[in-house]
């Protein structure tokens, strides 16, 4: 019974899985085994006959999904994108089935990945790489003029096609010129900056693909703009955070692929023109702004090798024909000529770059473990969430306004009850607190801030909470200046000792020895606590013990003595009020007698 690589959601909704090393197509004939392409779907060709051949008869289907395997290689989604909660999940079974095959699991691996903005032709380019891998010994590897382009699913249009991360189910075993064998894996990634992906989604996919690939092709359109470099800086930093501490450049080769290059009169198509263009773009100049310099220095510090390839536009038929299915007849000659140079530059045996992490070469078996480790990091909350430039700027803007308002409040309160200021009545202190609090909030509101009213309201609430915390500290500081407050603990302990001494004497005189013994015990504990508290205050040691004694004494004061004094005060006032009418009545009676 054949085993399945694992049921996967492909971008066209099919169940896909990998196969056991199919034989490559004959040179110059069929370039890639024929899974259904997005372009063929768009033109209504469903290739039902191929699917019937690939799947066993329904009567022979196994009960378990895990026992199914399709004969033909195809893209397998190994990192699933969950759009509802914007999380990613690794399909370990599918990855292990592909990379842990006996004949490749101990080979060093070469991973070529293509990443960049969505709808820029990444999957289209990877399908030409597949043609090369299946027909690399032929000078006509690029295929016939009327041959549809198949492999990774792609289509024309403005909506995204690939989600998560996909790899080709067949790992190619290549003999390098030095006689060693390596495994070559092709990886396709979800396009960045579509309408359904957050900045965190884009950063996670780009970072994962960069961390696990030996060659990352950064697919750009028409030019290298400053925002492209800033996004690259953000994404690579997000990847570097997830890796263990390293003392060398964390990533290997980055190839800028500039699609639809329109200035061959300034820099010629191909690698040499791209090299000169990239040197100019990434040059650090003395008169540059520090921000621009930092972006360029960061990119140089992240990658061991940087390259650039300028690729012309494939032609209007490719861009405007909804039924375009990748036939070379519809592609401009300049594009095909440069494609013949680009693909071998990445995948020819002498140009293959083996994956390394921390200076050690990575096997297929190792890569599975690295994938598992990295995806766990991105599934957790250890890393900060990357944000858009607007959100990051708005947060910094609001935090600066919060800091300014807090500083205004603190300075005002320092003038009222700072370190060298005398004790102030709690009611006066609270009134000053309310005045300064309102002033701080007014200042926060008066500062021009980005992010909108709802966004800023969260930071105002944060300001109010922090001001209340600062006020609580000022209250404690002010209470510490009150000599009676400072003496509350020893006074309370002394009152407990005195009360226990009196009660113990009375109960002992009345023969209630058990109660007298209990009072003596409490008296002894209060005396020990008093001596301990005095030592803590004198020496500064065992401050936690001193704090605990203060808290117990304060609780006794509030729950016992304070209430007792309040009862006595009320009775005294009541007696005084009742004695006044009596005195007046007696005086009136005396006058009448006289």
Which residue matches tokens 């971008």?
11
Provide the pLDDT for residue 85.
Answer: 65
Provide the pLDDT for residue 568.
Answer: 76
Closest to 104 measured CA to CA, from 1, 196, 3, 182 = 182
- Segments of 277-334 assigned E as strands: 303-310
| Residue 55 burial by Cβ neighbours in a 10 Å radius (0-12, 13-18, 19+) | middle
Lowest-confidence segment of 28-37, 165-174, 288-297 by average pLDDT: 28-37
Does the pLDDT value for residue 162 go beyond 60?
Answer: no
Q: List, in sequence order, every residue forming a beta bridge with 584; answer none if it has no partner.
A: none
Instruction: Calculate the CA 187 to chain-centre distance.
Output: 23
Provide the pLDDT for residue 381.
Answer: 60
Does the pLDDT value for residue 12 go beyond 70?
Answer: no
Q: What proportion of the chain, given as a percentage, has pLDDT over 70?
A: 76
| CA within 13 Å, CB half, 290 | 0
Rounded distance between C-alpha atoms, residue 475 and residue 425, angstroms: 10
Q: Within a 10 A sphere around the Cβ of 186, how many other Cβ atoms?
A: 26
Rounded distance between C-alpha atoms, residue 283 and residue 505, angstroms: 92
Confidence at 37, pLDDT banded by 50, 70, 90 = very low
Provide the pLDDT for residue 157.
Answer: 42
Does the pLDDT value for residue 490 go beyond 90?
Answer: no
- List Cβ neighbours of 406 (8 Å cut-off, separation of 6 or more): 440, 463, 466, 467, 470
Highest mean pLDDT, choosing among 26-35, 133-142, 393-402, 544-553: 133-142
Does the pLDDT value for residue 159 go beyond 70?
Answer: no
Q: List, in sequence order, every residue forming a beta bridge with 473; answer none if it has no partner.
A: none
Lowest-confidence segment of 127-136, 249-258, 302-311, 392-401 by average pLDDT: 392-401
Write out the DSSP string of 61-76: --SSGGG---SS--EE
Q: Are 37 and 126 in contact (CB under 8 A)?
A: no
Does the pLDDT value for residue 463 go beyond 90?
Answer: yes
- List Cβ neighbours of 30 (8 Å cut-off, separation of 6 or more): 147
- Using DSSP's 3-state secondary structure scheme, residue 360 falls into strand
Confidence at 391, pLDDT banded by 50, 70, 90 = low
pLDDT in tens, 81-97: 776 666 778 888 989 99
- CA of 50: how far to CAs of 22, 33, 34, 55, 171, in Å? 15, 10, 8, 9, 22
| CA within 13 Å, CB half, 347 | 30
Provide the pLDDT for residue 588.
Answer: 58
Which residue matches tokens 């930071």?
459
Quote the tokens at residue 194: 């579509």
Q: Are 113 and 217 in contact (CB under 8 A)?
A: yes
Confidence at 119, pLDDT banded by 50, 70, 90 = low
pLDDT in tens, 254-269: 999 998 899 999 999 9
Residue with the bigger pLDDT between 86 and 473: it is 473
pLDDT in tens, 315-366: 888 777 777 777 888 888 999 899 999 999 999 999 999 998 877 888 998 9
pLDDT in tens, 534-586: 888 778 788 788 888 888 887 887 777 777 777 777 777 777 777 656 565 56
Provide the pLDDT for residue 289.
Answer: 86
Confidence at 286, pLDDT banded by 50, 70, 90 = confident
Does the pLDDT value for residue 65 go beyond 70?
Answer: no
Does the pLDDT value for residue 60 go beyond 50?
Answer: no
| Residue 220 burial by Cβ neighbours in a 10 Å radius (0-12, 13-18, 19+) | buried
Does the pLDDT value for residue 59 go beyond 60?
Answer: no
Q: What proportion of the chain, given as a percentage, has pLDDT over 90?
A: 21
Confidence at 512, pLDDT banded by 50, 70, 90 = confident
Does the pLDDT value for residue 275 go beyond 90?
Answer: yes
Confidence at 20, pLDDT banded by 50, 70, 90 = very low
Lowest-confidence segment of 187-196, 302-311, 557-566 by average pLDDT: 187-196
Mean pLDDT of 231-242: 74
Per the document, the length of the chain is 594
Rounded distance between C-alpha atoms, residue 372 and residue 387, angstroms: 25
Report the mean per-residue pLDDT for the chain: 77
Does the pLDDT value for residue 394 go beyond 90?
Answer: no
Provide the pLDDT for residue 30.
Answer: 39
Provide the pLDDT for residue 63.
Answer: 38
Residue with the bigger pLDDT between 23 and 73: it is 73
């Amino acid at each position: 019974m054949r085993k399945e690589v694992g049921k996967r959601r492909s971008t066209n909704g099919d169940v896909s899985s990998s196969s056991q090393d199919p034989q490559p197509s004959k040179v110059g004939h069929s370039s890639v085994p024929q899974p259904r392409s997005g372009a063929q779907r768009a033109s209504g060709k469903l290739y039902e006959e191929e699917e019937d051949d690939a799947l066993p008869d329904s009567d022979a289907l196994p009960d378990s999904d895990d026992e199914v395997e399709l004969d033909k290689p195809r893209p397998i989604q190994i990192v699933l994108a969950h759009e509802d909660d914007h999380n990613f999940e690794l399909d370990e079974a599918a990855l292990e089935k592909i990379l842990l095959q006996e004949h490749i699991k101990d080979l060093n691996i070469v991973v070529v990945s293509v990443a960049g903005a969505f709808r820029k032709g990444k999957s289209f380019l990877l399908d030409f790489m597949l043609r090369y891998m299946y027909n690399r010994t032929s000078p006509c590897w690029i295929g016939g003029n009327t041959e549809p382009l198949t492999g990774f699913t792609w289509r024309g249009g403005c909506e995204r096609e690939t989600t998560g991360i996909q790899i080709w189910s067949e790992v190619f075993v290549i003999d390098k010129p030095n006689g060693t064998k390596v495994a070559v894996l092709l990886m396709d990634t979800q396009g960045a900056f579509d309408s359904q992906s957050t900045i965190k989604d884009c950063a996670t996919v780009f970072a994962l693909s960069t961390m696990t690939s030996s060659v990352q092709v950064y697919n750009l359109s028409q030019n290298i703009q400053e925002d492209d470099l800033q996004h690259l800086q953000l994404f690579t930093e997000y990847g570097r955070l997830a890796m263990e501490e390293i003392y060398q450049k964390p990533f290997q080769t980055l190839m800028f692929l500039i699609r639809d290059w329109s200035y061959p009169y300034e820099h010629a198509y191909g690698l040499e023109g791209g090299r000169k263009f990239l040197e100019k773009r990434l040059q650090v100049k003395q008169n540059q702004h520090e921000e621009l310099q930092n972006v360029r220095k960061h990119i140089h510090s992240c990658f061991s090798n940087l390259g650039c390839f300028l690729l012309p536009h494939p032609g209007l038929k490719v861009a405007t024909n909804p039924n375009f299915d990748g036939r070379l007849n519809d592609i401009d000659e300049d594009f095909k000529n440069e494609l013949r140079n680009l693909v071998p530059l990445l995948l020819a045996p002498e140009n293959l770059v083996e994956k390394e992490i921390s200076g050690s070469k990575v096997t297929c078996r190792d890569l599975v473990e690295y994938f598992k480790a990295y995806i766990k990091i991105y599934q957790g909350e250890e890393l900060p969430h990357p944000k858009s430039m607007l959100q990051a700027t708005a947060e910094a803007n609001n935090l600066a306004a919060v800091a300014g308002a807090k500083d205004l409040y603190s300075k005002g309160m320092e003038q009222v009850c700072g370190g060298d200021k005398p004790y102030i009545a709690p009611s006066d202190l609270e009134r000053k607190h309310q005045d300064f609090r309102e002033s701080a909030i007014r200042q926060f509101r008066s500062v021009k801030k980005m992010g909108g009213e709802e966004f800023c309201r969260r930071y105002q609430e944060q300001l109010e909470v922090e001001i209340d915390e600062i006020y609580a500290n000022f209250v404690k500081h002010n209470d510490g200046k009150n000599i009676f407050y400072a003496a509350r603990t020893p006074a309370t302990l002394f009152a407990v000792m005195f009360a226990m001494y009196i009660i113990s004497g009375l109960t002992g005189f009345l023969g209630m020895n058990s109660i007298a013994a209990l009072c003596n015990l409490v008296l002894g504990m209060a005396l020990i606590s008093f001596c301990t508290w005095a030592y803590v205050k004198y020496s500064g040691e065992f401050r936690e013990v001193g704090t605990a004694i203060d808290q117990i004494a304060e609780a006794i004061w509030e729950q016992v003595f304070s209430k007792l004094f309040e009862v006595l005060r009320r009775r005294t006032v009541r007696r005084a009020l009742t004695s006044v009418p009596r005195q007046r009545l007696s005086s009136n009676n005396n006058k009448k007698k006289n």
